[in-house]
Chain A
Amino acid sequence: MTDIYQDSPEQLGEKQYTISILTEDKPGLLNTVTIVFTRRKLNIDMINVSASEVAGVSRYTIVLTTTKDQVEKVVKQIRKHVDVLGAFVYEEDAIHYQEIALYKVPTEIFMDSVEVEQIVRANNARILVIERDYTVIEKTGHKEETSALFNTLKKYGVLEFVRSGRIAVSKSKRKTEAYLEELENSTTHSLYNNNGTVK
């Protein structure tokens, strides 16, 4: 059997990039953004879409493992879409980012010993709800951290585990509203945020 999956990222000179996109909040926009990736057979590592602080504007945070050349082309293609207000690419050190994970575990594992409680404390996690049958633990952090907690809890029996896509803010001081205002009045915008490290 031929392996249909691609070579490892390191072999291809790839790394993880975070793409931040602002769009008008309109139906179908998610599709127009993601087909840019589909067409190039790029697999999105994480995606988060939600309303931004500006009414009628959505913010997408997409994490992608690829080459610098490819991510730049992808961002240009995304920008090309009429309803995209802006798209920026960041390397890890240009953003602050976080993910959230929820772990559903049997409530009884807290009954037998204090071990699990200590794990929760040690991991800076918190108990979200306690039901008779199950308890939900919540942890925010980077993927390695939320994965580490999952691995620790595994032996106690995790009923369900879910992790969100990354959300990120840039290290730039610019306000989104100011950016949008600038956009209203300008006719061009750079591919990189004024604090972006790429290029």
Chain B
Amino acid sequence: MGQMETLKESSTGITKKKMRISGSEAVILSLLEEGVDTVFGYPGGAIMPIYDALYGYKEQLNHYLVRHEQGAAHAAQGYARVTGKVGVCFATSGPGATNLMTGIADAQIDSTPIVCITGQVVAHLLGTDAFQESDILGISMPITKWNFQVTKAEEIPAAIARAFYIAKTGRPGPVLIDITKNAQSAELDFEYTPCKKIRSYHPYPVIQDKDIMDAAKVINNAKKPFLLSGHGVLISGAEKAVLALSEKANIPVASTLLGLSSFPPDHPNYVGYLGMHGNYAPNVLTNECDVLIAIGMRFDDRVTGDVNQYAKKAKVVHIEIDPAEIDKIIKTEVAINADANQALECLLPYINKADHSEWINEFRKLDKIEYDKVIKNDLYPTSDKIKMGEVVRLISEISKGEAIVVTDVGQHQMIANRYYKYKKPNHIVTSGGLGTMGFALPAAMGAQIGKMKEKVISIAGDGGFQMTLQELGTIFQYNIPVKIVVLNNNFLGMVRQWQQLFFKKRYSFTEMTNPDFIKIADGYGIVANRVEQREDLEKALQTMYDHDGPYFLEVKVEMEENVFPMVPSGDSVSNIRLE
């Protein structure tokens, strides 16, 4: 115990000299060495020694007991996305670890740095179908950036050092470290050295001068350049550089779903958001531009629609840190394989000033059409029932765009991402690539813990909310002041919309009979309210926003509302429908 006390005292920069401690304590100390102060997790048989060690470090390491391991993974993601730090979660072997997988897959496809530490049965039982044994290394292999099984205590510090280095560098992603119970219990001489280099791993490619020159030439010769700003811009902190490029060469900028908040939405060069339910102008004019500058994005099929009819008039300049993304979907004229910010810093001096105001005006003309046909009615509807768009507009107005909005997946997600007027980078968090229903509540919880001074609003539909609503328990237990909005249309709305448009209105298993959400929130001790009438909406949202502590608000919205614009799946982006 005396030894532990010494370690605790020295735990900020800590543990220079070798100390004889257990593997479990080494896990905790390694996390402290990496600057971790928050962990989301759930204990169980095979990770009990680590939880026992954690008990001695409750002051330094805030552990949040989630209600399901999927919640731990999403919370770690939400935490990582708003803080830029690595999110950490713990789970036990077998079902504990398999429950993490959805969050890990989500983190992988949305480039989110998380480190998952799972317990595993004792080494000599591996492969014997022991109690709560499953092949977590095998299961997580295709959905992690790196994974590793520790079977000896001595391996722990190096494995964790490597895990953090890999998770946060280059294109970030999830790492899983599976630690057998014997390695947790055994002792080692602990010494921590952060990982700075792996010979087989080169996270930051060196910029080639030729690529910069070639890109500058293509951009300088453009008549109708168009810049797409992706998640990579936020990850590399290239927001200012993108802004500078856009302003210098007068280039219109659109954002991908994950790239939202990488460019100020009220800037005259901002033309909206791309993709299936994105804005009208950027989708249509993708097929008119002569140079497409794609930064930190991967041409997801929800962005491109039919690739054979995508940006056919354009030379493509792709700035991307992951070489496997270059030429994967869209063939490039010039590729700069590099960190977005570094690449833009090199590129900017070679970019000529230009005036493309006529070209930008083309976007504005289409914006007008979208406003008249879609946006006006979404934001200021005259229907009897409340529409999702007006809820998001009011949230935007009440929060002045200062709140962090975390969305789930479906119609409300598209609406929230279309209409929330965020003011700062990383103030809109969503599950993009994987489209994980159930993401919002736990991710918002993690985001709130990462940014306790900011307001965090979770927006979910009635379907997605019920996939992870047990995290209300976590929110209650730790009094996490997240604001929870459920837009309830008693339908799996997006699927219903597709059934209406593409499956002859055969509403196969999309209608939901929901519980009394207010009672549920009330059962968890969370202040709750329900709104059904438009005249009550603003006040209800304001009350929620001003509430000190967690708050649940159910908004009953129009049952059969559709999200437009919409690029029908597999169609060209220029065939985007407004109705």
Contacts and interface: CB of A to CB of B under 8 A. Distances in A.
A28 B324 contact: no
Contacts of B145: 82
B202 interface: yes
Interface in A163-199: 180, 183-184, 186-189, 191
Interface string B317-335: 0000011100110000000
Interface in B282-324: 322-324
A112 B19 CA distance: 76
A187 B324 contact: no
Contacts of B324: 73, 76-77, 79-80
A82 B202 contact: no
B205 A188 contact: yes
Interface stretch (A31-39, A114-122, A145-153): A31-39
A180 B200 CA distance: 9
A73 B322 CA distance: 12
B69 to A, nearest CB: 23
Contacts of B137: 28
Given A35-B141, A79-B324, A82-B145, A188 B206 contact: yes
Nearest to B138: A31
B259 to A, nearest CB: 21
A159 to B, nearest CB: 33
Given A35-B141, A35-B142, A76-B324, A24 B205 contact: no
Given A31-B141, A79-B323, A184 B198 contact: no
Nearest to B208: A188
Contacts, number: 53
Given A35-B142, A73-B324, A82 B166 contact: yes
Contacts of B328: 73, 76
Q: Chain B, interface size: which category?
A: 20 to 34
Interface string A58-72: 000000000000001
B337 interface: yes
Contacts of B322: 80
Nearest to A27: B149
A35 B147 CA distance: 14
Contacts of A81: 146
A82 B141 contact: no
A189 to B, nearest CB: 7
B205 A184 contact: no
B35 to A, nearest CB: 22
A80 B323 CA distance: 8
A80 to B, nearest CB: 5
A85 B141 contact: no
Given A35-B142, A76-B323, A85 B202 contact: no
A125 interface: no
B502 interface: no
A72 B145 CA distance: 20
B177 to A, nearest CB: 13
Nearest to B326: A76
Contacts of B149: 28
Given A35-B142, A79-B324, A82-B166, A188 B337 contact: yes
A120 B304 CA distance: 59
Interface in A79-128: 79-85
Contacts of B327: 72
Nearest to A86: B200
Interface centre among B149, B324, B327 (most CB of A within 10 A): B324
A27 B327 CA distance: 31
A23 interface: yes
A184 B198 CA distance: 8
Contacts of B200: 23-24, 82-85, 183
Nearest to B162: A82
Contacts of A191: 323
B199 interface: yes
B288 to A, nearest CB: 27
Contacts of B201: 82-83
A183 B142 CA distance: 25
Nearest to B166: A82
Contacts of B199: 85, 180, 183-184
A57 B57 CA distance: 40
Contacts of A79: 323-324
Nearest to B204: A187
Interface string B336-363: 0100000000000000000000000000
Given A73-B324, A80-B322, A187 B202 contact: yes
Interface string A1-40: 0000000000000000000000110001001100100010
A148 to B, nearest CB: 40
Interface in B137-186: 137-138, 141-142, 145-146, 149, 166
Nearest to A23: B200
A189 B141 CA distance: 24
Given A79-B324, A187-B204, A28 B141 contact: yes
Nearest to B199: A184
Nearest to A22: B200
A35 B323 CA distance: 19
Contact of B202 (A31, A76, A189): A189
Contacts of A28: 137-138, 141, 149
A26 B398 CA distance: 55
| Residue with the greatest number of chain A CB neighbours at <10 A, chosen from B205, B323, B327 | B323
11 contacts: A24-B200, A35-B141, A73-B328, A80-B322, A82-B146, A84-B200, A85-B200, A183-B199, A186-B206, A187-B202, A188-B337
Given A80-B322, A80-B323, A83-B201, 20 more contacts: A28-B138, A28-B149, A31-B138, A31-B141, A32-B141, A35-B141, A39-B142, A73-B324, A76-B324, A79-B323, A82-B198, A83-B200, A180-B199, A183-B199, A183-B200, A186-B202, A186-B206, A187-B202, A187-B206, A189-B202
Q: In the A-B complex, list the 10 residue pairs whose CB atoms are closest, starting with the nearest.
A: A76-B324, A188-B205, A82-B146, A85-B200, A187-B202, A82-B201, A187-B206, A80-B324, A188-B206, A35-B142
Interface of A: 23-24, 28, 31-32, 35, 39, 72-73, 76-77, 79-85, 180, 183-184, 186-189, 191
